[in-house]
Amino acid sequence: MALDFSQILVVGVSSRALFNLEIENEIFKNQNIEGFRKYQLEHENDLLTEGTAFPLIKSLLKLNEIASKQIVEVVVMSRNSPETGVRVLKSIKHFNLPITRWAFSGGEPLSPFIDAFDVDLFLSKDEIEVQKISDNSDCATALVYDPPTDYIPEIDRVKFAFDADAVVFSEESEHIYKEKGIEAFHQHESENEDVPLNDGPFAELLRKLSTIQEFLPTTIELTPLRIAIVTARNAPSHMRVIKTLRHWGVYVDEAYFMGGLSKDKVLKAFGAHIFFDDQETHLDGSCKVVPSGKVLYKTDSPLKKYEKKKLEQKMNVQQQFGKVVG
């Protein structure tokens, strides 16, 4: 009989997002599979240290201890072989993480296995893998940054923070802003205040989080699973966000409309276990204070082309500056 995951949050996490495997990753890139295999076997009994996603995974799994039923399932997904993955398994056991499902693909891409494991959220440090999943799956997926150095996670609660446009909601409004400017954006949002925003890549994840909140033992205002929207929007574009969430039947504990201000101080005060955004301008600051993940645009997205253009312009400026300095 197949398991029903409709009321269970399934998180897929790469071994490199869960644990710090940066040295091992460099060995793999420089010495290929043979050098990596040799290193892993020689260090099989050396425990791994925590990676960016570790606090989130640990706190999510603790929710099962206080919920009325199982509400979280974690799958460790790795391109290791079962042999080289033994070190990961030993580290999971050491940290007493109640994880019972693993996928070791032996070098093959992980993207085909996302749907096979019913994954709702996938976290990885492999940009190519994240892009493939973003292009070919409805699973919410993010490229996690290196962990912040002075981050101390809250133990008894789990806190998710989301950007709004191109993350929870579709790219439509953000595209208007980038193409026509802030005034056109505000006008569009005011005129469409009562029209629900379309789903973004993390909309289904937000709905699933809202669903599992119902099985936690406290009132919804004091739930140990807290959700925040942290967006660059401000008045008058804020009302469309609030009305869309109400239309979806999704309860969000907190919302911060920043109006272009830096998000990192609010995220630090909120104490997010993970923050998802699509723009490096926000993530460059947030990743220094809370674990953060970048939501990649689909390859055929207009915003992907805009992002590529901005990157090329930045590189051209750097090259010109280098010539002047030289």
DSSP string of 26-66, one letter each residue:
HHHHHHHHHHHHHHHHHTTTSPPPB-TTHHHHHHHHHHHHH
- Please name the residue ranges forming H helices in 67-149: 86-94, 127-136
Residue 123: the pLDDT is 98
Q: Which two tokens stand for residue 65?
A: 């201890």
CB–CB of 220/210 below 8 Å? no
Q: Are residues 206 and 256 in the same domain?
A: yes
Q: Are residues 39 and 120 in the same domain?
A: yes
Q: Are residues 204 and 113 in the same domain?
A: no
- The reply to whether 314 falls in a domain is no
Tell which wins on pLDDT, 154 or 144. 144
Q: Are residues 139 and 179 in the same domain?
A: no
Q: Rounded to an integer, what is the distance from CA 295 to the centroid of its chain?
A: 7
DSSP state of 290: S
pLDDT over 90 percentage in the chain = 65
Q: Are residues 179 and 106 in the same domain?
A: no
Please state, in angstroms and rounded to a whole number, the distance separating the CA atoms of residues 70 and 95: 20
Strand order in the sheet with 9-14: 101-104, 72-78, 9-14, 121-124, 140-144, 292-294, 274-277, 158-162, 225-231, 254-257
Q: Are residues 190 and 117 in the same domain?
A: no
In the chain, the number of structural domains is 2
Q: Are residues 98 and 52 in the same domain?
A: yes
Please state, in angstroms and rounded to a whole number, the distance separating the CA atoms of residues 254 and 261: 17
DSSP state of 130: H
Tell which wins on pLDDT, 229 or 29. 229
Q: Are residues 165 and 230 in the same domain?
A: yes
Q: Are residues 95 and 168 in the same domain?
A: no
Place of tokens 């709905």: 207
Residue 233: the pLDDT is 87
Query: Among 114, 144, 174, where does a domain finish?
Result: 144
Q: Given pLDDT bands bounded at 50, 70 and 90, which one contains residue 323?
A: low
Q: Which contiguous run of DSSP H or E holds residue 144?
A: strand 140-144
Q: Which two tokens stand for residue 1?
A: 């009989």
Tell which wins on pLDDT, 24 or 124. 124
- The reply to whether 313 falls in a domain is no
Q: Coil, strand, or helix at residue 167?
A: coil
156 is an active site residue: no
Q: Are residues 179 and 92 in the same domain?
A: no
Residue 314: the pLDDT is 72
Residue 27 belongs to a domain with what CATH number? 3.40.50.1000
Name the pairing type of β-strands 292-294 and 140-144: antiparallel
Q: Are residues 30 and 132 in the same domain?
A: yes
State pLDDT tens for residues 120-129: 999 999 999 9
- The reply to whether 207 falls in a domain is yes
CB-side neighbour CA atoms (13 Å) of 14 = 27
Of residues 80, 97, 106, 112, the one with CA closest to residue 14: 80
Pick the catalytic residue from 163, 165, 264, 277. 163
State pLDDT tens for residues 34-49: 888 888 888 889 999 9
Q: Determine if the pTM surpasses 0.85.
A: yes
Q: Given pLDDT bands bounded at 50, 70 and 90, which one contains residue 141?
A: very high
- What mean pLDDT is reported for the chain? 91
Residue 155: the pLDDT is 85
State pLDDT tens for residues 232-284: 888 888 999 999 999 999 989 999 999 888 999 999 999 999 999 999 999 99
CB atoms within 10 A of CB 251: 16
Residue 221: the pLDDT is 64
- The reply to whether 16 falls in a domain is yes
Q: Are residues 171 and 271 in the same domain?
A: yes
Range of the domain at 170: 158-295
Whether residue 147 has a cis bond before it, omega within 30° of 0: no
- The reply to whether 55 falls in a domain is yes
- The reply to whether 166 falls in a domain is yes
- The reply to whether 307 falls in a domain is no
β-strand partners of 274: 160
Q: Which two tokens stand for residue 238?
A: 């804020």
First and final C-alpha spacing in the chain:
68
Region of 119 please: left (phi>0), alpha (psi -120 to 50) or beta: beta
